[in-house]
Every structure is written in C-alpha cells, then in structure tokens.
Structure 1
Amino acid sequence: MTSKDFTLNGLFSVKGLDVAITGAGTGIGLYMAKGFAANGANVHIIGRRQAKLEEAKETLLQLTAEAQILIHVADISSRADVTALASSLNKLDVLINCAGIVIPDPPCTHLTPLAELQSALLSSPASTWSQTFSTNVEAPFFLSVSVLHLLAASPTGGRIINVSSIGSIMSDPNTHQPAYQTSKAAVNHLTRLMASKFRELGIRVNAISPGYFPSQMQDPNNPKSMLARAKDLVPVKRGGEEEDAAGTAIWLASKAGSYVDGSVITLGGGREWA
C-alpha cells in the first residue's frame, strides 16, 4: 500500500503552484491572494488598476519576502485583454475568477405598491444587464477557456475556482440587485458546465459562494449594509473574514480538495438557510 501524507503540509500544500486571481487588487480576491502568497504559491494578481495592484503586491510581500507576486493589468471583460493575458502566462495550476461588478437598480421591495414596483423594475437599463453579464459570466468563461492548455498541463491537475455570491441562491425581496444575483446564479451553472466539459483534461472546476465580506460591495462602515448587520442576519453572528475566504480557496486548490468537482461551496456562515 502506498504511504499517504495526512499532514497539513501534505494535504493543504499549495507551495510552488502558479495561481492567477482576477480582481485581486481588493476584497475577496486580495484575501485569497494573501492565503496563497503566505503558503508559498507564485501568485499572479490581475486587475484593471495598476495602482491597486501595486498596493496589493506590497501587502502580499509584507506577509513573506519570498513570495513571488506577478502583476497583470487587464480588463477581463475585454476579449483582447483576455487574449493578451493568456499569452503572457507560461505556467498555470490554479485560476480563480474573482473579478465582478454589481450595478444596483432603484430600490423596491415586495411591499412596494404595484405601479412603483413596476416602474422601478422597468427602469433597469439594458446596459446594467449587459455589463453585469459580460463581466460576471462571459469573462470567467472566456478567460478559463483561454488558459485551458496551461491548466491541462499542470502536473497536479488544473483547478478553476469561480467566485459566485450568496445572492445567487437567496431571493430576499428587500434587495435590489436582480441583474447581479441572476448573473451569479449563472456562474453556479457555468461552473457545473465547465466541470463537465473539462473533466477529460484533468481540470476540476468549483465555485465559492461568499456571503457578507468586507469589500467594495460591502462597506462595514455603512450601517445599512448587510455586512454591518451580519451579527443579526448570520447564524454564526459575524461577517466573513479574510481567513475564511483564503482557507476555502486553499482547500479547493490543494490535495485536500482533490475529490471536489462541479460543486458550489456556500461560504455564508449559515445565512443561506437562516
């Protein structure tokens, strides 16, 4: 019988892996980048803003001076940028599609009078839907396909991790982000489609569906934000923390998560059933 390594270094090691993370300049993407950098991965941070990526790199290097951090400025909603990005990479083990946008519509709830409800929902411009789906659904798909040859060549098997949202499975009538929530529901199914399509290549595809984490979408200083209200809304009585996002991504990228494929992991502290 072959000896198995059940140590933490054996099960959860990501040392030496090349990991590319979109939207890594801030928020959940940066939290995941911290986890991989601190554990010896070569981290490719991808975003639209050079300055934010430079700040993120400094933050990551403070965790360990030995970290290999590579910056790639790209707008993933641009096919040309995606093609150029894929061409700039020569090795890749893990792709994390984290970049996303949310464009709120005029607020309304199930208690809004019919005429006002209809007016609010119909005022959602076509651009809100097209931009949201372009960035949140199309971009992860085309970037994943563009680096497929690199992931397939990974000696440990390529991994794709899509970042969805708890909003993809919740239907709280008090929210007013229909395009965003629908796009993230599409990401969940896209994850399953890609897992099925790429299985003969040895590439696993999963998604993480985060709840309320500090980010540009969730301002902890805004008393009306879901994050600020997490103590009351979430069964574990808090919002998500950096380690929660990093740990889940590391699990899926490591040997410990090697039997998970085509799954959507809800990371919401129980909020999905509360």
Structure 2
Amino acid sequence: MSDAAPRTLIVTGGSRGIGAAIARAAGRAGFRVALSYKGDAAGAGAVADAIAAAGGEALAVRADVAREEDVVALFAAVDTRFGPPDVLVNNAGGVGPLGRVEAITAATLAEVMAVNVTGSFLCCREAVTRMSTRHGGRGGVIVNMSSRAAELGGAGEWVHYAASKGAVDSLTIGLAREVATEGIRVNAVAPGLIATELHARAGAPDRLARLAPAIPMQRPGTAEEVADIVMWLASPASAYVTGAIVPVAGGR
C-alpha cells in the first residue's frame, strides 16, 4: 500500500460508539474519511463535521450494509469523492435482543447475520476488487470488527451474536490468506466489554457495572482504546501482521 498522503479510510457504522471513535482517529491521522450510517444522519454528520473542523476531509454516506445495493453505492460514492480506499474498517454490526438460544427467532438470526456476516463479506468484496494488485490496485488494509464473544460464546445473552462474530473471524483468517500476495492485509479486532451505548440500547444498561468485576483489569474499555488498535493495524507499523484477531478486552 502506498504511504503517500492523503490516504482514504472507510469505516462502516461510523455515526456513534466505536465507529465514530475510529472515524475521528483516522481524521487525526490524516486520512480522508468516509463513514457510513444506517439511520443516524445527525450523528454521522456531527462526526464528519468534527473531522472537517479539525482540517480533515470526511464524507458521510447512508448505507445499510446488509443490502448489497447500498454497499455498492457506498463504495461508488467513495470512488467519486476520494478514489479507491486504502483502508476498510468493517465496524457496522448488530447484537439483536438479549436472550437464550431457546428463545431465538429466525427473524433475529436473519437480521444479525445479514449485518454482521453478509455485510462484512460484501464490503470486503468491494474493497478487494479495488485494492488487490491482481485487479490493478495498489494494495490496502481491511480491519474487521469481531468480538471476544466469538470465543467466550455469549451464553445466556447473545449466542447468536457470538456465532456471527465467529463467522467474522473465519472470514478474516480465510481472506487474509487468500489475498496475502496481492498487497492486502486482513485482520480483526475483538473488543470485550466496551463503554458505549450498545448495552443500554440492547436493554441492559447495568451490564457493564455487573460484568466489570469479571474483567482482569476491573474496568470496561473505551471506544478510543479500540480505535487505537484499529489505527495500528491500518498503519505501516503492523506491516507483517495479517490473519490476526487482536483482543482488546482488558484480559477477559
């Protein structure tokens, strides 16, 4: 991948939480930032405006990554504004309702898998066709958003979510090996308990306080701490790292 500035980074689900933190960190690092959002136009606009106010360039694009046509349109919009991306961060995701496997519905499974798995695959497809030296590209970096739940299992809460992130891990390892000679590195970040609004939106506002004692570091992480690892994976400092799943979980 060319180190000449400016470079372009796409982060899906960039209107809030970890995605917003990644977008802001990328802007500070000198990337031109394209961030997608599904419904929170105001949040995405605020992130893009903050990047621009700091002297950067940002583009907010409405896109539901579970819809193939939206993913295609997202990458087309980035092509038009900035050219092909140098970095893709597959951050958009959903957890579905809290509950045991015996209570899961087909609709919940379809929704969670469509966003977390299908969306990641589609975005990877579009990125590879632009980045791969096999297709005339200049190389690039893909960072997928996994979760410690993929290994821990999410018992009693989010086994469906954990399973979807297990699929993201398999995508990461397989794609990394597939494109390793084509100038593309593919890695994943696996956050643990992170202090974002996700828990309250899922109906468990006390979840962080309840589970914090089980974390060896005795505290939840921050979105910025996850963003720091994403930016390391996007940088030349990790040039010999591919196919890795990096835990950001305080030892959990």
State the aligned residue count.
241
> Is 1:48 aligned to residue 28 of structure 2?
no
SS of 2:246's equivalent in the other structure is strand
Give me the whole-angstrom Cα distance separating, in 2, the residues matched to 1:93 and 1:84: 17
User: For residues 41 and 130 of structure 1, do their structure 2 counterparts lie closer, same or farther at Cα, with a shift above 3 Å needed?
Assistant: same
Aligned equivalent of 2:92 = 99
> Is 1:22 aligned to residue 15 of structure 2?
no
Where in structure 2 are there 5+ consecutive unaligned residues? none
Aligned equivalent of 1:168 = 150
Normalised by the length of structure 1, the TM-score is: 0.81
User: For residues 124 and 73 of structure 1, do their structure 2 counterparts lie closer, same or farther at Cα, with a shift above 3 Å needed?
Assistant: same
User: For residues 199 and 132 of structure 1, do their structure 2 counterparts lie closer, same or farther at Cα, with a shift above 3 Å needed?
Assistant: same
Provide, for residues 82-136 of structure 1, a one-character-per-residue CA deviation record: whole Å limited to 9, x for no partner: 1112222222100000000111243x5xxxxxxxxxxxx3331111111111110
SS of 1:43's equivalent in the other structure is strand
Give me the whole-angstrom Cα distance separating, in 2, the residues matched to 1:218 and 1:124: 19
> Is 1:132 aligned to residue 125 of structure 2?
no
Where in structure 1 are there 5+ consecutive unaligned residues? 1-12, 109-120
Normalised by the length of structure 2, the TM-score is: 0.88
User: For residues 131 and 231 of structure 1, do their structure 2 counterparts lie closer, same or farther at Cα, with a shift above 3 Å needed?
Assistant: closer
Larger displacement relative to structure 2 (16-25 or 209-218): 209-218
> Is 1:228 aligned to residue 221 of structure 2?
no
SS of 1:238's equivalent in the other structure is coil
Provide, for residues 166-194 of structure 1, a one-character-per-residue CA deviation record: whole Å limited to 9, x for no partner: 11111353x32121110001111110111
CA RMSD between the two structures: 2.2
In 1, are the aligned partners of 2:51 and 2:57 still within 8 Å (CA)? no
SS of 2:180's equivalent in the other structure is helix
Q: After TM superposition, give the deviation of residue 243 of structure 1 in Å.
A: 2.9
Aligned equivalent of 2:51 = 60
Aligned equivalent of 2:69 = 80
User: For residues 216 and 14 of structure 1, do their structure 2 counterparts lie closer, same or farther at Cα, with a shift above 3 Å needed?
Assistant: farther
Aligned equivalent of 2:225 = 244
- Counterparts of 1:105-184 in structure 2, within 5 Å, are 105-106=98-99, 108=100, 121-152=101-132, 155=138, 157-171=139-153, 173=155, 175-184=156-165
User: For residues 233 and 76 of structure 1, do their structure 2 counterparts lie closer, same or farther at Cα, with a shift above 3 Å needed?
Assistant: same
In 2, are the aligned partners of 1:18 and 1:93 still within 8 Å (CA)? yes
Aligned equivalent of 2:188 = 207
User: For residues 212 and 198 of structure 1, do their structure 2 counterparts lie closer, same or farther at Cα, with a shift above 3 Å needed?
Assistant: same
User: For residues 230 and 257 of structure 1, do their structure 2 counterparts lie closer, same or farther at Cα, with a shift above 3 Å needed?
Assistant: farther
User: For residues 14 and 214 of structure 1, do their structure 2 counterparts lie closer, same or farther at Cα, with a shift above 3 Å needed?
Assistant: farther
SS of 1:215's equivalent in the other structure is coil
Give me the whole-angstrom Cα distance separating, in 2, the residues matched to 1:230 and 1:176: 12
Q: After TM superposition, give the deviation of residue 202 of structure 1 in Å.
A: 1.1
Q: Aligned match of 1:70 in 48, 52, 59?
A: 59
> Is 1:193 aligned to residue 184 of structure 2?
no
In 2, are the aligned partners of 1:209 and 1:265 still within 8 Å (CA)? yes
In 1, are the aligned partners of 2:153 and 2:159 still within 8 Å (CA)? no
Give me the whole-angstrom Cα distance separating, in 2, the residues matched to 1:207 and 1:27: 17
Provide, for residues 127-151 of structure 1, a one-character-per-residue CA deviation record: whole Å limited to 9, x for no partner: 1111111110111111111232322
Q: After TM superposition, give the deviation of residue 231 of structure 1 in Å.
A: 4.1
In 1, are the aligned partners of 2:49 and 2:58 still within 8 Å (CA)? no
Opposite residue 165 of structure 2, the aligned amino acid is: K
User: For residues 253 and 154 of structure 1, do their structure 2 counterparts lie closer, same or farther at Cα, with a shift above 3 Å needed?
Assistant: farther
User: For residues 187 and 31 of structure 1, do their structure 2 counterparts lie closer, same or farther at Cα, with a shift above 3 Å needed?
Assistant: same
Opposite residue 209 of structure 1, the aligned amino acid is: A
